Structure 1
Amino acid sequence: MAIIAQLSDIHIAAGRGGAVDDDSGPVRSLRAAVSSLLSLPARPDAVVLTGDLADSGLPVEYARLHALLSPLPMAVYPMPGNHDDRDALRAAFTDHPAVTASGVLPQAPVQYAVDVAGVRLVCCDTTVPGAPYGAMDADRLAWLDATLAAAPDTPTIVATHHPPYPIGIRFIDDMRFTEPEGFAEIIGRHGQVVRLISGHVHRGSVGVLAGRVSTTCPSTYRQLFLDLTRPGRAAVTGEPAGFAVHLVTDEGDATTHFVPTGNYRPLMEVE
């Protein structure tokens, strides 16, 4: 059995003076998320960070992010979102060989696969430099196809920043994963993929792509207002921050839990 936690849309931000304020909302929220994760009765085997880790893609933001994650005793696997800078992210996580080995050319996609307790985690790069929407070009799709083909019998979670299915919130769907048909075709060819996970939405949601359950993760910082009207409003809410926990059994069955941030304790034992 493998347990993989997902933190997303952290948005560590530098202030006007160029430094990250330790009392800022994103910093306090990430501290709370890390504390909540460590309070779980069964600690995850690994943590994946599904993008928008920094707000402006600045080296100082990634340095603070890396330090805030240091209490986690398990492996942490970062990947970029549309707010991130690939090179700055890669430079901050030099202690993660899978990340640094994902590319040596400037602004090369941050994409890699790792094994976590018998489950394969495949991290895809859907970012388009300078754009809020996501896409995977022919080279990235070919990489994904070859990566999945290399381990056809291992239960696999595929992670992206941009979700490959419509959310229904106009603000998010305007920054969607464009033309996900090629991605869906590849996923459909590889039966070992048991879950697709994404960020970007700043709230939990569940959809389907190529017959596979797909989920998005709450933000560790702020949640987007659930307005499904048209044209709808782009707004944040006071809903609690959170994260996701993905369980994959030895038989390859996958379950996703959405966890609100906070060190919650049992109120009573249930017989």
Structure 2
Amino acid sequence: MTIIAQLSDIHLAVGADGEVDDRSGPVRALRNAVSSLLALPERPDCLVLTGDLTDNGLPAEYARLHALLSPLPMPVFPLPGNHDDRAALRSVFADHVAVVAAHDDRDPQAPFQYAVEVAGIRLVCCDTTVPGQAHGELDAGRLAWLEAALAAGPGTPTVVATHHPPFPVGVRFLDELALCDPAAFGAVLARHPQVERVISGHVHRASAGSVGGVTATTCPSTYRQIFLDTSRPGQAAVTGEPAGFAVHIIGGGRPAVSHFVPTGNYRPLMHVD
């Protein structure tokens, strides 16, 4: 089996001095997440970052993110969100295999997407961002890229990662900022039965739905969670729910499963016989 850890919506931000304050909430929250990942009894095979890694898309924010993730021994595969800047992400994470795979000499702001193989599974990271906009889209070019990426590994269990979720979560303002035309995305997935899971961020909550016959999940934020208000018209608010991350177990001859883990002092209180 392959274990994929997922962090999302980290939102590192510079202060008035242009530096990221290590006492800030996002930094402390990310440190808790990293410590919790390191405390897991079995090391994940890789870590996927599903967007909104920074708040402003600034090089200083990515540089601090890079440093804060450095204690992790597994490969890290970043993906941009609507708060991110593709060119800055490419520049600061240029030492990562994933970023090399997503390199584009012609346009540093080109869609940031790639496919990699990790411990017997394929990870396909698909860029759903629209520069300057909060919602997500997959135009014809990106859908064609996804189709080709999936067709390249028909016999290998596959996870598709996006920032914007391809299903409604039931919170109106979040659904208005989700992926436009998820049916087109789902139609591509339906043609590739090796896809076992779609993992996303953006909504700052754990949730599960489906698209194209595939189970899809969203990941808690490492920082702040969005209040679950399913009323109409509803109101955006954050909660005191604990921050968290996701762990996805893929392959091994059994169905994929996803766990959602709170960050902080994550350890067993006692062992049960």
Instruction: Give your verdict on TM over 0.5.
Output: yes
Provide the secondary structure at the position in 1 that maps to 2:235: coil
The Cα of 1:141 is off from its aligned counterpart by 0.5
Is the deviation greater in 76-85 or in 14-23?
14-23
In the alignment, what sits opposite 1:64? 64
Kindly provide the amino acid, as one letter, of the partner of residue 219 in structure 2.
C
Structure 1 Cα separation of the partners of residues 265 and 2 of structure 2: 22
Give yes or no for the alignment of 1:153 onto 2:155. Answer: yes
Structure 2 Cα separation of the partners of residues 66 and 186 of structure 1: 33
Give yes or no for the alignment of 1:33 onto 2:29. Answer: no
TM-score, normalised on structure 1?
0.98
In the alignment, what sits opposite 1:218? 220
Provide the secondary structure at the position in 1 that maps to 2:258: strand
Give yes or no for the alignment of 1:86 onto 2:86. Answer: yes
Kindly provide the amino acid, as one letter, of the partner of residue 160 in structure 2.
V
Structure 1 Cα separation of the partners of residues 253 and 21 of structure 2: 45
What whole-Å deviation, never above 9, does each CA across 1:158-189 have from its counterpart, x for those lacking one?
Answer: 00000000011112112110112211100000
Structure 1 Cα separation of the partners of residues 27 and 15 of structure 2: 12
Structure 2 Cα separation of the partners of residues 265 and 21 of structure 1: 28
Asked if the contact 2:206–2:219 (Cα under 8 Å) also holds between the matched residues in 1, the reply is: yes
Asked if the contact 1:194–1:252 (Cα under 8 Å) also holds between the matched residues in 2, the reply is: no
Asked if the contact 1:45–1:117 (Cα under 8 Å) also holds between the matched residues in 2, the reply is: yes
Superposed CA RMSD in Å reads 0.9
TM-score, normalised on structure 2?
0.97
Kindly provide the amino acid, as one letter, of the partner of residue 230 in structure 1.
R
Asked if the contact 1:245–1:259 (Cα under 8 Å) also holds between the matched residues in 2, the reply is: yes
Asked if the contact 2:62–2:88 (Cα under 8 Å) also holds between the matched residues in 1, the reply is: yes
Asked if the contact 2:190–2:213 (Cα under 8 Å) also holds between the matched residues in 1, the reply is: yes
Pairwise mapping of residues 1-271 of structure 1 onto structure 2 (< 5 A)?
A: 1-102=1-102, 103-104=104-105, 105-251=107-253, 253-271=255-273
Kindly provide the amino acid, as one letter, of the partner of residue 123 in structure 2.
L
Kindly provide the amino acid, as one letter, of the partner of residue 150 in structure 2.
L
The Cα of 1:99 is off from its aligned counterpart by 1.3
Kindly provide the amino acid, as one letter, of the partner of residue 232 in structure 1.
G
Is the deviation greater in 226-235 or in 256-265?
256-265
Structure 1 Cα separation of the partners of residues 174 and 17 of structure 2: 30
The Cα of 1:211 is off from its aligned counterpart by 1.2
Provide the secondary structure at the position in 2 that maps to 1:215: strand
Structure 2 Cα separation of the partners of residues 167 and 150 of structure 1: 31
How many pairs does the alignment contain? 271
Asked if the contact 2:50–2:161 (Cα under 8 Å) also holds between the matched residues in 1, the reply is: yes
Asked if the contact 1:155–1:252 (Cα under 8 Å) also holds between the matched residues in 2, the reply is: no
Kindly provide the amino acid, as one letter, of the partner of residue 70 in structure 2.
S
The Cα of 1:196 is off from its aligned counterpart by 0.5
Structure 2 Cα separation of the partners of residues 52 and 68 of structure 1: 16
What whole-Å deviation, never above 9, does each CA across 1:203-245 have from its counterpart, x for those lacking one?
Answer: 1000011111100000000000010101111011111000000
Structure 2 Cα separation of the partners of residues 238 and 267 of structure 1: 23
> Which consecutive residues of structure 1, in runs of 5 or more, have no partner in the other structure?
none
Q: 1:176 to 1:161 in 2, by over 3 A?
A: same
The Cα of 1:252 is off from its aligned counterpart by 5.3
Is the deviation greater in 185-194 or in 90-99?
90-99
Asked if the contact 1:120–1:154 (Cα under 8 Å) also holds between the matched residues in 2, the reply is: yes
Structure 2 Cα separation of the partners of residues 53 and 197 of structure 1: 16
Provide the secondary structure at the position in 1 that maps to 2:71: coil
Structure 2 Cα separation of the partners of residues 252 and 189 of structure 1: 21
